[in-house]
Amino acid sequence: MAAIATTPSQFELAAWAKTITPSALQDMLSATANPEVISFALGLPAPELFPRHQFSQLASTLLEAEPLALQYGPPSTTLKTAIVSLMAQRGVRCRPEQIFLTNGAQQGMNLLVRLLLADGGSVLLEDCIYTGFQQVLDPFQAKLLTVPTNPETGMDVAAVEAHLAAGQRPSLIYAISDGHNPLGVSMSLAQRQQLVELAQQYQIPIIEDDAYGFLSYQADTIAPMRALSDDWVLYIGSFSKILAPSLRVGWLVVPEWLIERLSIVKEASDIGTATLSQRLVAAYTQTHQLTTHIDQLCQIYTTRRDTMFSALEQHFPSQTRWYQPSHGMFIWVELPTTVDPFKLLDRAINQAKVAFIPGSVFGVAGKSMSTNGIRLNFSNADIDQINAGIERLATIMQTLKA
């Protein structure tokens, strides 16, 4: 049949979609897939620590033994039960009926926002936060109520109270209890208690993003806010940072009444989380190696974090400041005011083959964040790479000042 002639004109997009700006993530994923590049850029786990051989055996056994391994299926009850045990290790009591399986933490926040954010509604969040959460908000063009945050003391909870006392009624509050992305900071017990009290008092749910919380580098840890309230804290967890991101399995812990609604929104999004991925993670949890695996990650990441501190101390100019994270994958570094982080990044990637993320990209839209901060990931590179990468960054920085 003859092809109908086509015009080069483009069809109309929804208004918000016309304003979409490119994200750094896909480019960074490609750039950092180059083995020559030392990446401090993304929140990637150490690939050499993945339990690939166990997964190889588990996958092979599962696919041979389970006739429905490649079929559609309901969410895995085995996996939900394993997650309940995992949450208990974080000091959170919950039931399988409160667990909702997602494609990683990102989908968890996406589904929750779509359910919670009212038309013309507002969202309360820190003024420097994970860009992926900001991307979730973009289509809604919601009013953003920001509160100050910093790498030393974290979210300014008094500023949250000020918004609420002034009559603001956001649809939700977004917070990261442990291992803040990008600042690395964790909230104190007092901050958690105050924020949960405000949520209850003003009847506004908190989305608690705990993607990094299991990666803890100190003996004393504080339970997530979900331990303080079953009703007002919607908890987001993920296997991406503690097991294997390529499977895309995460979870929510939410009040049971929300589960059915989440199921519908999830179904409309992608039918369900890949059942093969669910089964693989469930099978791995049943080998009882997950706790040991997380302990090993924490041990090795502690060494990497401390190596990065030493390298910063040794190579970076004395006006540099950095902050010690007790959790997660990131160190926030404030460069001397004479250094432009974007100029540094450009030379770092092209000349030194080192990648990182300039801190101002995390500034919440509408506020052009003025910061000389940069976010450095310490989980994805080994000790030699960390030493080499920091030294190369310092050398490049000198050429910038000259």
Q: Residue 155 and residue 150: Cα distance in Å, rounded?
A: 7
Among 98, 177, 240, 379, binds a second copy (CB under 8 A): 240
Q: How far is the CB of 317 from a second copy (least distance, A)?
A: 33
| CB-count burial class (<10 Å; 0-12, 13-18, 19+) for 71 | exposed
Quote the longest CA-to-CA distance of the chain: 72
In the shown chain, the binding pattern of residues 356 to 375 toward a second copy, with x for contact by CB under 8 A and - for none, equals: --------------------
Q: Binding of a second copy at residue 167 (CB under 8 A)?
A: no
DSSP 149-175: --TTT-S-HHHHHHHHHTT---SEEEE
Residues 52-111 that bind a second copy (CB under 8 A): 52-53, 55-57, 59-60, 62-64, 67-74, 102-104, 106-107, 110
Helices (H), 175-255: 189-202
Q: How far is the CB of 334 from a second copy (least distance, A)?
A: 27
- With b for 16 or more beta-carbon neighbours within 10 A and e for fewer, the 8-31 pattern comes to eeeeeeeeeeeeeeeebeeebeeb
Among 78, 81, 96, 138, binds a second copy (CB under 8 A): 138
Residue 270 phi, psi (nearest 5): -165, 25
Q: Binding of a second copy at residue 166 (CB under 8 A)?
A: no
Q: How far is the CB of 211 from a second copy (least distance, A)?
A: 11
Among 116, 159, 369, 388, binds a second copy (CB under 8 A): 116
Please, which residue, 183 or 249, has the CB nearer to a second copy?
249
* Distance between first and last Cα of the chain: 66
Residues 252-271 that bind a second copy (CB under 8 A): 255, 257, 260-261, 263-265, 267-271
Q: Binding of a second copy at residue 36 (CB under 8 A)?
A: no
What is the DSSP secondary structure assignment for residue 216, as one 8-state letter? B
Among 227, 381, 253, 397, which residue's Cα sits nearest to residue 319?
Answer: 397
Cβ atoms of residues 397 and 335 within 8 Å: yes
Q: Binding of a second copy at residue 299 (CB under 8 A)?
A: no
Q: How far is the CB of 18 from a second copy (least distance, A)?
A: 9
Q: Give, to the nearest 10 degrees, the angle between helix 383-401 and helix 290-315.
A: 30
Q: Residue 309 and residue 330: Cα distance in Å, rounded?
A: 12
Please, which residue, 153 or 193, has the CB nearer to a second copy?
193
| Structure token digits, residue 342 | 């974007």
Residues 269-298 that bind a second copy (CB under 8 A): 269-277, 279
Residues 186-215 that bind a second copy (CB under 8 A): 189, 193, 196-197, 200, 203-205
In the shown chain, the binding pattern of residues 218 to 237 toward a second copy, with x for contact by CB under 8 A and - for none, equals: -----x---xxxxxx-----
Q: How far is the CB of 220 from a second copy (least distance, A)?
A: 12
Bridge partners of 321, per DSSP, are 334
Please, which residue, 107 or 307, has the CB nearer to a second copy?
107
In the shown chain, the binding pattern of residues 375 to 394 toward a second copy, with x for contact by CB under 8 A and - for none, equals: --------------------
Number of residues forming the site for a second copy (CB under 8 A): 107
Among 96, 159, 168, 245, binds a second copy (CB under 8 A): 245
Q: Residue 383 and residue 304: Cα distance in Å, rounded?
A: 6
Cβ atoms of residues 170 and 147 within 8 Å: no
Stretch that binds a second copy, among 22-30, 308-316, 321-329, 335-343 (CB under 8 A): 22-30
Among 17, 88, 158, 165, binds a second copy (CB under 8 A): 17
Q: How far is the CB of 49 from a second copy (least distance, A)?
A: 10
Q: How far is the CB of 108 from a second copy (least distance, A)?
A: 9
What are the CA-CA distances from residue 355 to residues 34, 41, 308 (Å)?
Answer: 11, 5, 14
